[in-house]
């Protein structure tokens, strides 16, 4: 099954224009998200003339949907998705929700990318046409099912009216309405026209979970075939008639600008067409990418580095610690009071991180006097249209974005910087221009996850039980830059304290506060798979493990005692512990198991990792067991894949990843110095689901968020070394404890060794 791109001509599936398909007859069912999660549905252009006009204007069948289904006269079912597909299998899950209630099978649903339109396709959970935050299934579960049920009800009613029978006596299977008593059958295509003329049903009945045929099954993804045979089109695959290819180089120093360009040698290279300039970058245009790349390497460039010319990671880290010590904090959550007792404290540090998606950033743009077309895989299509309109001076309705499959997002494609750059170059030439970033450009100019500095503490009683918990955080805000209107009235960034202000544990006395410390101008921080929870779960779950060790209690038992009022999270802890055989038998020397639990993105998760640490400090993960309660499981296969992929992504970051600055420039450039796990390094991963009737939770970021603390706790169990900073410092894991203590002293605050740090 393939999702086809919609070129500017409006040609759609099978080469038939959508307007022609509309005129051919059929049932178009559109629905708009409401705050309650219910769907308002309309089925006839005459009933919603404004919506019909708007939808026709952007090349869709009638009505103004955030997502819609259409049943054509030939019986084909189409679903247009407001969310982007970037590997999280949302096209498959959403198609399953629709198909379940509509009465068709997954192979009968064709899924299409939606056009860019904030008003028509905005998602309430994120306040716009945005894919992120593990919200896609949570935002569409009720609406897509209800839309399918509405369409099924109308089609059955149309058949029953024609046969003059009770609709309740009819059944639906694979897009065919049947009346068993009379042996009559009609396909959806034959009924679509009549169904479109019926009034909306006052209410519809949704299936009970016990009656699900598709939801909960491990079904193959709808885009698998296209991704295997190469017909699925990603942004980097786009080819447009007359297109030229460019690659770029921006100022190495963050915030720097272009001073001069000597392009004589570049223009002499065969295949080089042009050299383009903007304030902070230069592009070489070629007949193909290789010519452009060779031309770029031949340029003689001079840069004005600007105010960040001497900026280093050490300066940024020191500034965070200084801010936490001196600046005013915003209290994110405070309950109860801090009692007298034994105070335990620790300091944790987390680094800046890049995204390093499989598909490097790219955008194809054709700017004309009368309009602009863009082909790009993005998590924010409407934002991209807005910035392109601003740069070109065109009205937004003259900018058309053709969204593509994304070769990984992880939050990087929530940004528009690469699109803005491509439009700025493309407006200088008359032909369509594909701008491709190299991997080096992608990493060196990433919009990184913020670094964080935490002072975490607890008051414990004589048995080691937590009487009060506190976390003081310093770091920059992503939300404050990306969507400042969503900041709290007191200036609080809710994402920054997620999972620690509302912990999964019963902690009646708690105080969580944040000292805002933004990075220097030019160093922007952005969303990174999990963001707040990846930071807070590492800090909190590592510290909980510290407290368990200090109290001489088993880490699982210590957590169980604090989860008695949270049965869902207790259940995933018990399930994971049971499946890995926690406490059963002994492990070899320098092998340990680490546990971490959390309530993130509406789901409950527990990860237990078994790791071995060599005398030289190398970490080998032997096994990982993850238990998840994500509410009603839509596609069991996708859930397993998302947890596995997320866990490996998080483990890669914990073991290897850190973005560092020297002389105002990012030092890392490719996978040789920004490593990812290799196949032979990946542990065997078991994913176990807790059967649940709760509303679905998010999944795309859950595995990533829980990975680092489980690994760090496993390393402690294997070596006795408590890591309070990431990535893993192998020098601290060597066998010689005296040498370790010296290394910790030399490393300074935040680098972590249990014997020298616990208060």
State the Cα–Cα distance between residues 603 and 530, nearest whole angstrom. Answer: 13
| SS3 label, residue 202 | coil
pLDDT tens digits along 135-145: 999 988 988 89
pLDDT (mean) for 607-633: 97
Flag whether pLDDT at 65 surpasses 80.
no
Q: Residue 702: which of 610, 759, 638, 749 has the closest Cα?
A: 638
Of 151-155, 597-601, 633-637, give the lowest mean pLDDT range.
Answer: 151-155
Q: Taking 60 as the threshold, does the pLDDT of residue 737 lie above it?
A: no
What is residue 13's three-state secondary structure? helix
pLDDT in tens, 14-45: 222 322 323 334 565 555 433 333 444 333 33
Block residue for tokens 């340990």: 592
Lowest pLDDT segment from 146-150, 431-435, 546-550, 629-633: 146-150
CA dist 62 and 86 (Å) reads: 27
The pLDDT score that the predictor gives to residue 756 is 32
- pTM here? 0.90
Q: How many CB atoms lie within 10 A of CB 14?
A: 11
Specify the pLDDT at position 79.
86
Query: What is the three-class DSSP state of 486?
Result: helix
- CA atoms within a 13 Å half-sphere pointing along the CA-CB vector of 160: 15
Region of 141 (left: φ > 0; alpha: ψ -120 to 50; beta: rest) is alpha
* pLDDT of 755 strictly over 80: no
Whether pLDDT at 4 is above 50:
no
The Cα 751–Cα 747 span in angstroms is: 6
Q: Dihedrals φ, ψ of 595, to 5°? A: -120, 145
Map out the domains of the chain with their CATH numbers. 13-229 (3.30.365.10), 235-306+361-436 (3.30.365.10), 452-757 (3.30.365.10)
Return the pLDDT at 757: 33
What DSSP designation does 83 have? Answer: S
Distance CA 710, CA 712 (A): 6
Cβ atoms of residues 515 and 492 within 8 Å: no
pLDDT band of 257, cuts 50, 70, 90:
very high
DSSP 374-410: EEE--S-HHHHHHHHHHHHT--GGGEEEEE-B-S--T
Q: What is the mean pLDDT of residues 360-388?
A: 97
Q: Tell me if 663 sits within 8 A of 568, measured CB to CB.
A: no
**CA–CA separation, 61 vs 540, rounded Å?**
50
CB 525 within 8 A of CB 666: no
Band the pLDDT of 742: cuts 50, 70, 90.
low
Q: What is the pLDDT of residue 25?
A: 46
Integer Cα distance of 650 and 600 in angstroms: 14
Chain centroid to Cα 517, Å, comes to: 25
| pLDDT tens-digit map of 720-733 | 999 999 999 999 99
3-state secondary structure 43-76: CCCCCCHHHHHHHHHCCCCCCCCCEEEEEECCCC
pLDDT computed for residue 193 by the predictor: 81
Beta strands per DSSP E along 12-145: 26-33, 39-42, 67-72, 77-81, 109-113
What band does 122 get if pLDDT is binned at 50, 70 and 90? confident
Assess contact for 727 and 658: CB atoms under 8 A. Answer: yes
pLDDT attached to residue 21: 28
Nearest 10 degrees: Cα torsion 471, 474, 476, 482:
20
Min mean pLDDT across 99-113, 178-192, 304-318, 729-743 is at 729-743
DSSP line for 621-677:
EEEEEEEEE-SS-S-HHHHHHHHHHHHHHHHHHHHH--B-EETTEE---STTTS---
Are 179 and 159 spatial neighbours (Cβ–Cβ below 8 Å)?
yes
User: C-alpha angle 210/213/219, rounded to 5°?
Assistant: 125
H or E element in which residue 713 lies: helix 702-719
Could you count the other beta carbons within 10 Å of the beta carbon of residue 723? 25
Question: What's the pLDDT at 54?
Answer: 43
Contact between 537 and 461 under an 8 Å Cβ cutoff? The reply is no
Q: Which pLDDT score is estimated for 127? A: 81
Structure tokens that stand for 185 in this block:
């059958």
Judged against a pLDDT cut of 90, whether residue 289 lies above it is answered with yes
- Three-class SS of residue 89? coil
**Rounded Cα gap, residues 455 and 472, in angstroms:** 5
Helix (DSSP H) and strand (DSSP E) numbers for the chain? 21, 28
């Amino acid at each position: 099954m393939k999702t086809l791109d919609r070129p500017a001509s409006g040609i759609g599936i099978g080469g038939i224009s959508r307007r022609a398909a509309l005129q051919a007859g059929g049932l178009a069912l559109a629905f708009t998200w409401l705050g309650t999660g219910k769907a308002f549905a309309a089925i006839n252009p005459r009933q919603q003339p404004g919506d019909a006009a708007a939808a026709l204007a952007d090349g869709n069948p009638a009505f103004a949907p955030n997502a819609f289904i259409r049943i054509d006269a030939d019986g084909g079912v189409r679903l247009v998705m407001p969310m982007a597909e970037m590997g999280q299998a949302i096209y498959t899950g959403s198609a399953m929700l629709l198909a379940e209630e509509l009465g068709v099978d997954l192979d009968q649903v064709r899924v299409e990318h939606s056009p860019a339109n904030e008003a028509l396709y905005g998602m309430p959970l994120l306040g716009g046409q945005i894919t992120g935050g593990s919200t896609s299934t949570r935002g569409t579960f009720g609406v897509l099912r209800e839309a399918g049920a509405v369409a099924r009800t109308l089609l059955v009613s149309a058949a029953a009216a024609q046969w003059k029978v009770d609709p309740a006596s009819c059944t639906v299977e694979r897009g065919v309405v049947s009346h068993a008593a009379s042996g009559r059958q009609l396909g959806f295509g034959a009924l679509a026209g009549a169904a479109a003329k019926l009034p909306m049903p006052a209410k519809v009945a949704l299936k009970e979970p016990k009656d699900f045929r598709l939801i909960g099954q491990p079904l193959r993804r709808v885009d698998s075939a296209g991704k295997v045979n190469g017909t699925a089109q990603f942004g980097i695959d786009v080819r447009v008639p007359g297109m030229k290819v460019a690659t770029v180089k921006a100022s190495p120093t963050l915030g720097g600008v272009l001073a001069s360009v000597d392009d004589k040698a570049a223009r002499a290279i065969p295949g080089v067409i042009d050299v383009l300039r903007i304030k902070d970058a230069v592009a070489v245009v070629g007949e193909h990418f290789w010519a452009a790349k060779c031309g770029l390497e031949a340029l003689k460039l001079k840069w004005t580095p600007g105010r960040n010319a001497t900026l280093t990671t050490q300066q940024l880290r020191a500034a965070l610690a200084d801010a936490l010590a001196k600046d005013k904090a915003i209290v994110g959550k405070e309950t109860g009071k801090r009692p007298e007792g034994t105070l335990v404290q620790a300091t944790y540090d987390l680094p800046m991180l890049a995204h390093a998606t499989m598909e490097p950033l790219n955008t194809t743009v054709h700017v004309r006097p009368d309009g602009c077309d863009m082909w790009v895989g993005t998590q924010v299509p409407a934002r991209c249209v807005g910035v392109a309109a601003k740069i070109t001076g065109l009205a937004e309705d003259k900018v058309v974005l053709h969204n593509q499959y994304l070769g990984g997002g992880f939050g990087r494609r929530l940004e528009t910087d690469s699109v803005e750059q491509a439009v700025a170059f493309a407006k200088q030439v008359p032909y369509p221009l594909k701008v491709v970033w190299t991997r080096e450009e992608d990493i060196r100019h990433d919009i990184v996850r913020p670094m964080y500095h935490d002072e975490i503490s607890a008051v414990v009683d004589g048995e080691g039980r937590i009487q009060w918990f506190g976390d003081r955080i310093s770091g920059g805000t992503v939300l404050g830059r990306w969507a400042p209107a969503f900041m709290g009235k007191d200036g609080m960034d809710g994402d920054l304290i997620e999972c620690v202000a509302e912990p999964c544990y019963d902690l009646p006395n708690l105080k969580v506060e944040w000292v805002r410390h933004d990075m220097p101008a030019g160093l922007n921080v952005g969303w990174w798979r999990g963001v707040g929870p990846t930071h807070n779960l590492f800090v909190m779950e590592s510290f909980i493990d510290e407290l368990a060790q200090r109290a001489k209690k088993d880490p699982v038992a210590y957590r169980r005692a604090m989860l008695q009022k949270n049965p869902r999270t207790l259940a995933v802890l018990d399930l994971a512990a049971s499946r890995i055989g926690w406490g059963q038998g002994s492990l070899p020397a320098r092998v340990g198991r680490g546990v971490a639990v959390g309530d993130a993105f509406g789901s409950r998760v527990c990860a237990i990792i078994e790791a071995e640490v060599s005398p030289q400090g190398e970490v080998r993960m032997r096994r990982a067991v993850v238990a998840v309660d994500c509410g009603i499981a839509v596609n069991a296969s996708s859930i397993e894949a998302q947890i596995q992929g997320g866990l490996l992504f998080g483990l890669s970051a914990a073991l290897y990843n850190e973005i560092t600055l020297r002389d105002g420039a990012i030092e890392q450039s490719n996978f040789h110095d920004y490593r990812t796990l290799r196949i032979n390094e990946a542990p065997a991963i078991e994913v176990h689901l807790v059967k649940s009737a709760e509303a679905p939770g998010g999944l795309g970021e859950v595995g990533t968020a829980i990975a680092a603390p489980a690994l760090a706790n496993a390393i402690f169990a294997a070596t006795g070394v408590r890591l309070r900073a990431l990535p893993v410092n192998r020098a601290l894991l060597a066998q010689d404890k005296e040498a370790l203590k010296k290394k910790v002293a030399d490393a300074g605050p935040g680098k972590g060794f249990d014997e020298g740090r616990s208060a």
